[in-house]
Amino acid sequence: MSDNAPIRVMIVDDHPVVREGLRAILETGHGFEVVGDTGNAYEALEWIAAREPHVVLTDLRMPEMNGCALARQVTSRHPDVQVLVLTTYDDGEDILAAIEGGACGYLLKDTPRAVLRDSIKAAARGETVLSPAVASKLTSRLRQQAALLSERETAVLQSASLGLTNAAIGRELCISEATVKTHLRHAFAKLGVDDRTAAVTKALELGLVRAGWGLAT
């Protein structure tokens, strides 16, 4: 995307008055081009390939396909297109589902206009964008989730953060390699990740383990 080119935005919201309001906010000489607005997520998916938006600004709860499902579809089919959720709902489960679905950000509809514009610009650059209240709830939700880790699961992740192999972790903790793998699988499920690198990364972000010196491959 050229620095001087307008940011191409697609608006997806099942309330026409909201779509009209968002279009008015963006189309007033602030460097945006609204390439489409629709109340139907399926229609949005059909349009994306042809209209090439940089950012899809979507509501969360919509009939037929919600914003989380739309985010998953968009990020799967069009990885260069950023999805930014704009909603009235600030439930922790909704926030986590949207982010895990691939949304780059989550804003509330009481976000000031200037902040909304800046957030869309940040999303177009590939940055993560969260309303302060949303960021707080997401952090709290992740910490609650991570708090479910057992002492042994935490110890295994700490050793993994130091770059130890499963066999080396087993020797250090006096457990079998199979047991190490079991603890890792349980930790992956609790942290909502699929591999040890992601698990250690999230554990480090949440302060559950101390920074190590790399990961074993």
Please name every residue paired with 85 in a beta bridge, in sequence order, or none if there are none: 58, 106
User: Are 104 and 23 members of one domain?
Assistant: yes
Q: In whole angstroms, what is the distance from residue 26 CA to residue 84 CA?
A: 15
Domain annotation covers residue 211: no
User: Are 152 and 116 members of one domain?
Assistant: no
Domain annotation covers residue 71: yes
Domain annotation covers residue 78: yes
User: Are 52 and 26 members of one domain?
Assistant: yes
Q: Are the C-beta atoms of 26 and 9 separated by less than 8 Å?
A: yes
User: Are 53 and 107 members of one domain?
Assistant: yes
Residue 61 identity: R
Residue 177 identity: E
* Residue pLDDT, tens place only, 187-216: 888 888 889 898 888 888 777 787 654 444
pLDDT bin (cut points 50, 70, 90) of residue 10 is very high
User: Are 125 and 70 members of one domain?
Assistant: yes
pLDDT value at position 28? 82
Q: Helix (H, G, I), strand (E, B), or coil: what is residue 38?
A: strand
User: Are 35 and 136 members of one domain?
Assistant: yes
User: Are 84 and 21 members of one domain?
Assistant: yes
| Number of structural domains found in the chain | 2
Q: What share of the chain is helix, strand, coil (3-state, %, to 5)?
A: 50, 15, 35
Domain annotation covers residue 130: yes
User: Are 70 and 155 members of one domain?
Assistant: no
Q: Domain holding 192: CATH number?
A: 1.10.10.10
Query: How far lies 42's CA from each of 39, 64, 65, 71, in Å?
Result: 9, 8, 7, 12
Among candidate residues 123, 142, 161, the one where a domain is terminated: 142
Asked if pLDDT for residue 41 goes beyond 60, the answer is yes
Domain annotation covers residue 213: no
User: Are 137 and 163 members of one domain?
Assistant: no
Q: Helix (H, G, I), strand (E, B), or coil: what is residue 191?
A: helix
207 conformational bin, left if phi > 0, alpha if psi -120 to 50, beta if neither: left
* Residue pLDDT, tens place only, 123-161: 999 998 888 777 777 766 666 666 678 889 989 999 998
Asked if pLDDT for residue 94 goes beyond 90, the answer is no
The separation between the first and the last C-alpha atoms of the chain, rounded to the nearest angstrom, is: 35
DSSP single-letter state for residue 33? E
Q: What is the pTM of this model?
A: 0.65
Domain annotation covers residue 2: no
Question: Structural domain of residue 153, as residue ranges?
Answer: 148-205
Please give the biggest Cα pair distance in the chain.
65
User: Are 25 and 114 members of one domain?
Assistant: yes
Q: Are the C-beta atoms of 32 and 6 separated by less than 8 Å?
A: yes
Element (H, E) at 108: strand 105-108
Q: Domain holding 134: CATH number?
A: 3.40.50.2300
Q: In whole angstroms, what is the distance from residue 90 CA to residue 181 CA?
A: 36
Query: How far lies 16's CA from each of 26, 111, 142, 202, in Å?
Result: 15, 19, 34, 39
User: Are 124 and 153 members of one domain?
Assistant: no
